[in-house]
Structure 1
Amino acid sequence: MEPDKELRNALFLAQYQSAREVVLHARQIQHSIVSWSNASAGVLIGAGAVIANDGAGAVTEGTSGMAFLLLFALVLPGLVAGSFSAWIGEVGRMRRAASFVRDIEFSAYASGGPGAPTTPVYDTVVSRGPNGEGDSITQIGRRAVAALYIGLLTTSAVVASACVWNFESSHSHSTVVRVVVQLLLVAVVVWFGHAVRDGFRRIAPYGSHQPTLIDELYLVELFGDRG
């Protein structure tokens, strides 16, 4: 085998292995993000329950009331938004790498001739899903995670809204402050809904991606003509 061809084959194999490792690593990070964010949210909600256990006054006045309000109006929404952003980023990274792996599998298949070794097809088969219907199982999982984050944020906003409107304050502008905080809470929920939709929209093309042959024409499209 020619030295240049040996180098190309070695790089081809190294890229395949590297991309498969990216897919696995990104999936592991997704699980870690969901697990740790849920555990953290549970701790915060538990802390709020401890404060509320002292009676309505504990959550509607004084230092404890302010802590309760900040917990559900700022800390928990921040945790949810940050966790979702990190999670959807890892989903995108995984799907981009998987898309490239499918390109490599397709290219290996297209370049094979009589007597060629069996083409790796794992990621291509997985992307087709059961009965060729796509990755419907993993879609259910992603939608469940998104629903969990939306539920946490909505619950947090509802609790914070109730606290805001029942908070004891003698300030002359308390009503204005309540309205402003309420509008901010609604804006956060609307923004997060848009962020979820936009995140899923950005990763969608990689799920429906048809494998592309990595040949000279494709390389010229990527890098330009060598001449």
Structure 2
Amino acid sequence: MLYPINVQIQDRNVVVIGGGKVAQRKVFGLLEAGAKVKVVSPEITSDLLRLSETGEISWRPEPYGKENLEGALLIIAATNDRETNLAVKRDAAPYQLVNLADDPDESDFQVPSVMKRGKLTVAVSTSGASPVLAKKICTQLEEMYDEQYESYLDFLASSRKEIKASVKDELVKRKLLTTIADESFLKESFREERFARLLEETISEEGR
């Protein structure tokens, strides 16, 4: 049974074993999350080579060895050799989490398909049953949660800070947070002005 979490890997060490297209996709996702990525593979794709040349990743042009795993929080084994991938799993320390790109059942964690709209992140996993279906569902979600959600989430984040700083009563706080999460605020062209009036009225009532 998997336990779904979002992991903070900003500036954390992650090792990717393998240098092909699958490894490349994993590296791009890791870099987007701010990880420090080391790739271990005798050969790598042209895109990974470019990242290495610009210093965005470190590349060890050598066959896999157990020493390559030292200091890594997450490890991704994405070679085209199953025995090598399994060796990575065996060699990892108990505190290290390993993903085998070709074997979700043997992995400590799985990388879901992801749909992002600014601060909104929706992850879809089929527990390895069908990555194709997971991507299809993400495509459907992209249509459901369009670009307007990016500015809406920014609005919710800033408004939440204002509510927590300005309103003392916990019940009133929850009521306001529920109100701005209503669909009417999503579609409101002047949501900031509407919220400012609402907050001002609330603070005024609290002061009475």
Q: Shorter chain as normaliser: what TM range?
A: under 0.3
Structure richer in strand, relative to its length: 2
Structure richer in helix, relative to its length: 1
For normalisation by structure 1, the TM-score amounts to: 0.24
Task: Please identify the structure whose Cα radius of gyration is greater.
Answer: 1
Q: Greater relative contact order: 1 or 2 (C-alpha under 8 angstroms, separation 6 or more)?
A: 1
For normalisation by structure 2, the TM-score amounts to: 0.26
